[in-house]
Every structure is written in C-alpha cells, then in structure tokens.
C-alpha cells in the first residue's frame, strides 16, 4: 500500500493530466479536422480522473458509489445511443441538467454536513448550489419543451418581478447560511427549494425558438456551478474544467444569440409573447393549396430552385428523399441550392449535421448572408418544415415578437412552395405571413411523403 503522501501526489498529478486533456480536447473540437479526436481526448481525461478518485483518502460508501455510477452510466449510455439526431438538443439539455443537479447535490451534502471551513467556503457552496439547482430545473423544463411534453409557454404580467422575488429569497437564505457556517437544515432546504422554483419559472415563459440559447446558457451555468463546488472540495480538476466550460459556454451562448439577432437579456427577460397574442391579427388573405404533380412540373422546368429546410424536414426524416429529389433536378440542369438559417435546426449547426447525414455536398449549402440576395432570381423557393425563419413579419411588423430577427427572404422568389403537415402556426406560435402571399402555394402532407410524390412528378415531367 502506498503511503498517504504518494497517493495524494498521484491523485493530484492525475487531475492535472485530466485538466490538460480536457482543454486540448475542447481545442480539437473547435476545428472540423480534429473534432472527432477531441472528444476521445476529453473522454480519456474523464476516465483517468474517475479512476483515481476511488483512491481518494478517507472515502467510504463504496457500496453506494459503484452501483450509482453503473446505473447512471448505463441509463445515459442507453438513452444517448438510442436518441435520434433530430432530438440531440433536448438530450444535451437533459444531460446538462443532470450535471447541474449533481453540483447542487454536492453543495447540499456539504451544507447539510455543516462543517464548512469558513464563511467563504460556505458562500461558494451556496452560490454553486443555487446555480446548479437553477440549471437542473431549467434544463428539465427546456427538455420538456423541446420534447413536446410542455406545449405552452406560460406567461403573465409581473412574472419577472415574481422571479426576482424568488431569486432574492434563494440568495437571502444562502447569505444567512454562509454567515452561520453551520446552518439549520431547514434553511438549506429552503434555499434549494427556492432555487429549483426559480429554474422552472425562469424557463417556462421562454419560447421554443429561443431554447438553444437557453440550453447553452444553462450549460455555461452548470460549468460555473461545478467550478464553485470544485473550490469547496479543493479539487483543481473541477475548478479548471468547470470554469473553462463556464467561460466557453458563455461565449457560445453569445454567438448563438447573435446568430438569432437577439441579445441574451432579450431572450431571458422580454421573452416571446409580450406582444405575441396580438400579432396574428395582421395577417390577411388565405392559404392556397397545390398538388404535388403541379409542383413537380414547376420545378422540373425551373432554372433555379432554393430549398429552405427546417426542423420539420428533419422530424419527418425527409432529408434523404429531398436530396434524392434535388439530385433529379440537378441532373436536369436545374441550379439547386440549400439555404440554411443559423437556427434552422434546433441549434446553430444542427441542420448542417442533418444534411451532411443525408449526403448533401457542402458547396450546395449556403448560409443566410450568402443566399439572401439570390432569392429574387430563384424560380422556386421550396420551404420544407421551416416556418419562423422565413416569416416576413420579422422584417416589417414591429409589433411581432420576432421583429428584427434575420430571416431568409424566401418571399422574394417567383414561386414559393411550402410543404407543411397542417395549417398550424410555427414553433414559436406566430402566424406566418409568407403562407398567405399571392406567390405562395401550400403542399400539405408529411415531408417524406411529399418528397416521394414530387420525385414521381418530376420523373413524369419527362
């Protein structure tokens, strides 16, 4: 058996290696060429850190630790392997929430334990615990919304003030706990209850379209919470990994919010829907249906077709069919391009991954800035399961909650074909003025089925 000092040295050295592997792994993940190896490096770091922690001095309860790790890992492994690529964002939210919950649990154990070294240590545990609990509850709500378990965004006047009061209550409890150092159990419980409620009430009013930004924010918050608990446990690996994720996640959140032309404060506090209920009144006209055979002919004899894929296409698993359709058109000499809005999937970059899965080459995929001028010269803009990202009210209706969001100018195309399952509003619940334009026709049906019908129609067009 190694003596105490050697064992401690090995543990600390291993944590050092882990921190280095994490940073190198993240660095590799930020470049397309090395991305794949990045996660492997980070994974190796995690294995090293977990393994040496079993040798931590003064540990007991192994009979609880080992089964808990096995069960948690097995469930996550199973769910992670099973989930469809389209559902990735909510799974990230779910796993992130678990991390936040774990950070809050560490804080809870330490605070209930009640032997904090100092007010500073107790304060760090408190801050990490509150952030972790908010991230846990908030990520859970985000998961529920994206998974379709929570359908409505609940809002009412004065909600922000109530949220502020809940925050004050949680922080107030936390401050008292920090000053007492050994705090009464009820006070610790009270703090966590308020923090959990805050996570729920903060996230419920936020519309589905803003969820990626919120998930990214909670990701950063979990990182911070882990970092703070690292201070409490005097664990350098947790401090470094948590803080790195906290700052990287904050930057990523800003990049995402910028891609949607919304400030973070706007996403969190104004929310969709302050004016949303009235926005529907401005739409006039009617939706005009069209048959697949007519669309097939229209596209077969077009010069230029721009496909605007949205999340609906991915849900219907139609990307393969649509690409088959586009290949037919390309063979006929039609100029085909894909226009990707920064938030076309559920997150920036999500749609690129989905199209890549179907085999669409990169040079046919254009982003918003590249393609927007080209819509005016396009004969057909084919909208598949996209909604808010092509809604012209974002450009011209100041009362609309999505006013100011950059959109794809699909309405400028000579003909706009919208493949849509039904007549409902988009993910954000906002009526789409594009559907009512004179040059727009609606092709109702499942994207996969519509794709197959269009392929037949184009083949028949000869």
Residues 5-64 touching another protein, rule: CB under 8 A, are: 15, 18, 22-23, 25-27, 29-32, 35-36, 38-40, 42-43, 46, 49-50, 53-54, 56, 58-62, 64
**Which is closer to another protein, CB of 189 or CB of 275?**
189
Question: Between residue 149 and residue 168, which ones bind another protein under the rule CB under 8 A?
Answer: none
CA distances from 384 to 243, 326, 350 (A): 40, 13, 16
Nearer to another protein, 99 or 205 (CB): 99
CA distances from 372 to 29, 97, 305, 353, 417 (A): 30, 37, 13, 21, 17
* Strands, sheet with 335-340, edge to edge from the N-terminal-most edge strand: 365-367, 335-340, 304-309, 380-384, 415-420, 440-444
* Window 372 to 431, contacts with another protein (CB under 8 A): none
Site for another protein in 185-224 (CB under 8 A): 185, 215-216, 219, 222-223
Q: Is 182 in the site for another protein (CB under 8 A)?
A: no
User: E-strand spans in 229-309?
Assistant: 304-309
DSSP 437: S
Spatial separation of the C-alpha atoms in residues 338 and 363, rounded to whole Å: 9
Using alpha carbons only, give the angle 448, 374, 261 rounded to the nearest 5 degrees. 80
68 binding another protein? (CB under 8 A): yes
CB-wise, 318 or 344, nearer to another protein? 344
* Alpha carbons 383 and 376: distance in angstroms, whole number: 15
388 is catalytic: yes
Of residues 190 and 401, the one with the C-beta less far from another protein: 190
How far apart (Å, rounded) are the C-alpha atoms in residues 163 and 202? 7
Closer Cβ to another protein, 252 or 454, answer by number:
252
Selected from 205, 271, 345, 429, the binder of another protein by CB under 8 A is 345
Q: Please, what is the Cα angle at 234 between 195 and 13, to 5 degrees?
A: 135
The span from the CA of 87 to the CA of 142, in Å, is: 12
Least distance to another protein, CB of residue 398, Å: 28
Which region among 76-84, 162-170, 273-281, 397-405 touches another protein (by CB under 8 A)?
Answer: 76-84
Q: How far is the CB of 377 from another protein (least distance, A)?
A: 20
Angle between helices 447-460 and 319-331 (to 10 degrees): 20
Residue pair 276/429 in contact (Cβ under 8 Å)? The answer is yes
* Of the residues 134, 238, 316, 378, which one makes contact with another protein according to CB under 8 A: 238
Q: At a CB cut-off of 8 Å and minimum separation 6, what does 176 contact?
A: 183, 187
Q: Which of 210, 274, 388, 397 is catalytic?
A: 388
Closest CB 45 distance from another protein, rounded Å: 8
SS3 418: strand
79 to 108, contacts with another protein by CB under 8 A?
A: 79-81, 83, 85, 88-89, 91-92, 94-96, 98-99, 101-103, 105-106, 108
Complex with another protein: residue 231 or 375, whichever CB lies closer: 231
The distance between the two most distant Cα atoms of the chain, rounded to a whole number of Å, is: 82
Applying CB under 8 A, which of residues 4, 274, 357, 376 lies at the interface with another protein? 357
CA atoms within 13 A on the CB side of 209: 26
Task: State the binding string over 291-330 for another protein (x if CB under 8 A, else -).
Answer: ----------------------------------------
Nearest distance in Å: CB 452, another protein: 23
Piece of 168-176, 262-270, 277-285, 344-352 that binds another protein (CB under 8 A): 344-352
Whether 105 and 225 have beta carbons less than 8 Å apart is answered as: no
> Which residues are catalytically annotated?
388
């Amino acid at each position: 058996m190694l003596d105490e000092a050697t064992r401690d040295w090995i543990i600390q050295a291993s944590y050092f290696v882990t921190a280095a592997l994490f940073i190198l792994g993240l660095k590799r993940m930020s470049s397309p060429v090395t991305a794949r190896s990045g996660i492997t490096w980070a994974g190796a770091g995690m294995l090293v850190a977990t393994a040496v922690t079993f040798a931590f001095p003064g540990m007991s309860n192994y009979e609880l630790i080992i089964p808990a790790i096995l069960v948690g890992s097995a469930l996550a492994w199973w769910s992670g392997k099973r989930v469809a690529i389209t559902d990735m964002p909510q799974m990230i939210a779910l796993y992130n929430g678990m991390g936040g919950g774990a950070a809050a649990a560490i804080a809870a154990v330490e605070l209930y334990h009640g032997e904090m070294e100092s007010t500073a240590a107790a304060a760090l545990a408190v801050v990490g615990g509150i952030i972790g609990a908010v991230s846990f509850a908030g990520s859970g709500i985000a998961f529920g919304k994206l998974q379709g378990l929570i359908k409505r965004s609940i809002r009412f006047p004065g909600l922000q003030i109530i949220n502020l009061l809940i925050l004050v209550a949680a922080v107030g409890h936390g401050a008292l706990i920090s000053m007492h150092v050994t705090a009464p159990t009820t006070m610790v419980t009270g703090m966590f209850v308020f923090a959990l409620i805050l996570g729920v009430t903060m996230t419920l009013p936020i519309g589905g379209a803003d969820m990626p930004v919120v998930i990214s924010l909670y990701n950063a918050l979990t990182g911070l919470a882990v970092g703070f608990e690292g201070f409490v446990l005097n664990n350098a690996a947790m401090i470094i990994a948590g803080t790195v994720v906290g700052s990287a996640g904050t930057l990523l959140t800003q990049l995402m919010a910028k891609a949607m032309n919304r400030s973070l404060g706007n996403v969190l506090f104004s929310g969709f829907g302050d004016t949303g209920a009235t926005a529907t009144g401005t739409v006039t006209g009617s939706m005009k249906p069209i048959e697949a055979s007519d669309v097939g002919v229209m596209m077969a004899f077009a010069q230029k077709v721009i496909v605007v894929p949205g999340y609906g296409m991915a849900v219907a698993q139609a990307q393969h069919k649509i690409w088959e359709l586009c290949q037919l058109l390309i063979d006929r000499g039609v100029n085909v391009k894909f226009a990707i809005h920064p938030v076309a999937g559920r997150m920036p970059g999500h749609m690129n991954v989905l199209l890549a899965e179907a085999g669409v080459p990169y040079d046919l995929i254009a982003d918003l800035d590249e393609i927007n001028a080209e819509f005016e010269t396009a004969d057909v803009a084919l909208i598949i399961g996209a909604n808010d990202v092509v809604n012209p009210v974002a450009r011209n209706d100041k009362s609309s909650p999505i006013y100011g969001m950059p959109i794809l100018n699909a309405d400028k195309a000579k003909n706009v074909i919208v493949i849509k399952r039904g007549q409902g509003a988009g993910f954000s619940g906002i009526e789409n003025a594009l559907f009512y334009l004179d040059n727009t026709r609606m092709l109702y049906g499942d994207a996969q089925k519509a794709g197959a019908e269009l392929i037949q129609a184009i083949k028949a067009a000869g």
